Amino acid sequence: MLPEGFPFHQFDIYKQVTGIPMGANYAPLVADLFFCYESAFIKTLLKSNDLNLIEKFNYTYRYLDDLCSLDNTLFQTNITAIYPKELILLQSNSSDDKATFLDLDIQIHNLH
């Protein structure tokens, strides 16, 4: 179990109940633990030779605990095939054609 985070700003203290506190020394290690699941899923995809599914995951990226899967209509249905049930992924995009990833605003215009 990971400890709760208590970030503060000026004189206000907040209780972080989801995720790993930013800047925590162990954050990259915990994020890397879940990379083994992604790696195993990709190896399974390659062995299956399911070109449609492989192509859908072609634009899926991760940086530490941030995950971005662009134009992948099959990501949501494959979450349980990739990650253990203990990992809860929170979807943070505002719509199907707009998302923020690593402080970048990403939008799809005219399907491009």
Q: What is the pTM of this model?
A: 0.66
Per-residue pLDDT at 47: 92
Residue 43 in this model has a pLDDT that exceeds 80: yes
Residue 8 in this model has a pLDDT that exceeds 80: no
Residue 76 in this model has a pLDDT that exceeds 80: yes
Identify the residue whose tokens are 């599914």: 53
Q: Where does the pLDDT of residue 1 fall: very low under 50, low under 70, confident under 90, or very high at 90 and above?
A: very low
Residue pair 72/57 in contact (Cβ under 8 Å)? The answer is: yes
User: CA of 46: how far to CAs of 39, 52, 73, in Å?
Assistant: 11, 11, 19
